Structure 1
């Protein structure tokens, strides 16, 4: 039973790490002008938030920890708000 739970936690952790890393790479690839046209945070702020989210995930690999959950929410907000608005 514990092996299944450990395996699921590892899969969840990898998936959440990939989502955070994807959001960070997407933010790095976008120009500041693209983000200025949206009603959102500036690019520099997003870079800081997403970098800290990825760093926290690397340091504290447990996906249900407080810092990892906050970072996951930040990455999902970025992906929904910024990437979703630009791709329309």
Structure 2
């Protein structure tokens, strides 16, 4: 009885979450140039697009848990390892470079 409720309520939600995560990773993998992957010393852009694309297809069309988990691992590796390296190479770190007198709300002018 417990498994019946788990199959009908929770497992589909996990499937949708894995699909959404894979789609977001695929879109993020498309954006940087192929040279950024090489400069970051990671696998090629084509490699990641194929891996993440297969993950999206498996999550969308096939309900094979083993393949979905393998795709989830690949997606997590992309988010944890590849994406930060690409952001560092492409300068997408999100940190603003200001002068040494800048405070949290703008430049500090010494009360003038």
Q: Determine if the TM-score, normalized by the shorter chain, exceeds 0.5.
A: yes
Q: Give the corresponding residue for 1:85.
A: 85
| Residue 71 (1) aligns with residue 93 (2) | no
Q: Which has the higher contact order (CA 8 A, sep 6+)?
A: 1
Gaps of 5+ in 1: none
Work out which of the residue numbers 9, 12, 33 in structure 1 matches 2:11: 9
Q: Give the corresponding residue for 2:110.
A: none
Q: Secondary structure at the match of 2:28?
A: helix
Q: CA deviation at 1:15?
A: 0.8
Q: CA deviation at 1:67?
A: 0.8
Q: Give the corresponding residue for 2:62.
A: 60
Q: Secondary structure at the match of 1:52?
A: helix
Q: Give the corresponding residue for 2:26.
A: 24
Q: Give the corresponding residue for 2:39.
A: 37
Across the aligned residues of Structure 1 and Structure 2, the Cα RMSD in angstroms comes to 1.6
Gaps of 5+ in 2: 89-112
TM-score normalized by structure 2? Answer: 0.68
Higher helix share: 1
Q: CA deviation at 1:3?
A: 3.0
Q: Aligned equivalents of 2:39 and 2:86: distance in 1?
A: 9
Q: Aligned equivalents of 1:28 and 1:49: distance in 2?
A: 12
Q: Deviations over 1:21-54 (max 9, x none)?
A: 1110101112112111112100011111111111
Whichever of the two has the greater Rg, that structure is 2
Count of residue correspondences: 86
